[in-house]
Each structure stands twice: as C-alpha cells, then as structure tokens.
Amino acid sequence: MKIGFIGMGIMGRPMAMNLLKAGHEVMVSNRSMDKCKPLVEAGACAGSYAEAAAFGDILITMLPNGPQVKSVMLDEGAASHMKPGSIFIDTSSINPVDSRAIAAEMEKLGIEMLDAPVSGGEPKAIDGTLSFMVGGKQEIFDKCRDVLAAMGSSVVRCGEIGAGNTTKLANQIIVACNIQALAEALTLAQKAGVDPQLVFEAIRGGLAGSTVMNAKAPMMLEGNDKPGFKIDLHIKDLNNAVECAHAIGAPVPMTASVQELFQWMHSHDGGQKDHSAIAQYYEYLAGIELGR
C-alpha cells in the first residue's frame, strides 16, 4: 500500500520505518527535512506536505498537538491534496474536541478520518509493539487495521471519532500517576534505609507491579533521563486531559497534582527529559540520589 507520513520526530521515524519493513511504499515529510534522511536511506521517498498527502490512499500524521495537526492539514492545506475517498489517520495525541473538528473538515473534502493515538513511547515505536487507541467508523477501521498492526501489537477501536484520543487521555493520566507514585515510593524506601533496587525487585511481581514500573524504575535508579517520552509532551497531554475534564465536569485531582510536578520539572530545565525524571523532583526535596 502507498502511504504518506508527516512528522518524523521521536515516534514518527520508527513508526514509518516499520511500515517500510512491512512492505508498504512510504513517502515521508517533516518541517525539517533532514529528519527524513534515515527513512530515505531505508527505501522511503521524501517530499513536501502536499506531496505526502497526494502520495497514496492513506495519510498518517504524528505531530505534537492539535494546533500543529490543524496547521499542517488545514491552514497549510495538506488535506486539499488528498484524493476524495482516501483516509487520514492522525496518530498524534490531541484533545478529542480537536479530533472531531478536524474530522468535520475532512468530511467536507470527501476524506475519511481515524484518530489513532498510541501508547508505548520510543522503545515500542522502534520494535513495532505500540498500542493504538482508535476512533472512527468501523468500516474505515477495518480497512486500516493491518496498516496500524504493522506499527503496533494492540489495535483497538474505542468508538467514533474522538474516542481514540479520549482513551489516550485516560492512558496518560494512569501513566503519569503511576510514575509519580513510583518515584515517591522509591524515595521513601531509600530515606528509610532500604535499597530501592531491592524494593523494586520485591514488589514488581505483586499487585503494585506494572508495565510502568518495569520500564521506569530502572531509569530512576540509574539516573537515566534520556527521553523515551518527554516531560513537555506529557504536560501537553495532561493539559488536554484537564481541559477535557473541565468541559465535561469530570473530577481529576490526581491529574492536577502530577501536572504540577511535571510543571516544576519544566521550570527547572527538565522539560526535554524522560517523564521518569519526575524522580528528580523527589531527589531534590529529599536530598538524595535514588539508588546511588
């Protein structure tokens, strides 16, 4: 299948690479075209937003937030270059209200849309085991399932347009609160004189164990803040979650709490670090270095 792909950031590059590995023809595009070079070397072609949009029957975007998706697709006119009857898949994590608004504009052009944000960060983007949370018509989802499966191990339709990003907001709340609790618990252990590495090993197989713990505890204990998912991006997601919650009257006090901690990290030059670096907030308060 011929697929256009716009957005060659931390997530977009490996996602597009996995489409190539699955045998699809891919045209990639990015505001900074230098980021397309690894894909071109692997067999993709590269072009402008308009060329990527016109390339095939599916266009995928992986962009930072709703304003960027609107800018690329509507303000800069990528959507106007898509063929009527083609499919737009937005894998960006944005406010579901924005997803519905963009879908309405796509419909005017005769273009179908899925909102299909992902979970798993850079490591799972690289190995093709992302989790896709998808909103849109069942028949369009069915047409695109195999394409998404080339990039992920879980592809679930959650409802109509906007349902994918609503599910992603729920995911990001759970991940953020887990990371905060993990950092807090490991800090408690070390301040109490217990090796946090042993605490991690002891509890990881019990009820407290989770994918978040397995992925993030080793990073916290090693002082590794290389971003698989940046704090600034998680701030963006939680902002969307709080805005959505306020609009529908859903209480999110834990989300607001962890958002403040992420914001502290941003204000102390931590915005580009991995979201597990929230542990550094606790290290600062407790006067320790976890595991070291």
Query: What's the rounded Cα separation, in Å, for the pair 187 and 229?
Result: 22
Q: Any catalytic annotation for residue 168?
A: yes
CB-CB contact of 84 with 111 (8 Å): yes
Residue at token pair 């978040």: 212
Q: Which of 75, 67, 59 is nearest to 116 (CA)?
A: 59
CB-CB contact of 188 with 119 (8 Å): no
**End-to-end CA gap in the chain:** 50
CB-CB contact of 220 with 290 (8 Å): yes
Query: What's the rounded Cα separation, in Å, for the pair 246 and 236?
Result: 15
Please tell me which residue in 108, 124, 168, 230 is annotated as part of the active site: 168
> Is 116 strand, coil or helix?
coil
Q: Which of 136, 125, 183 is nearest to 7 (CA)?
A: 125
Known catalytic residues are 168
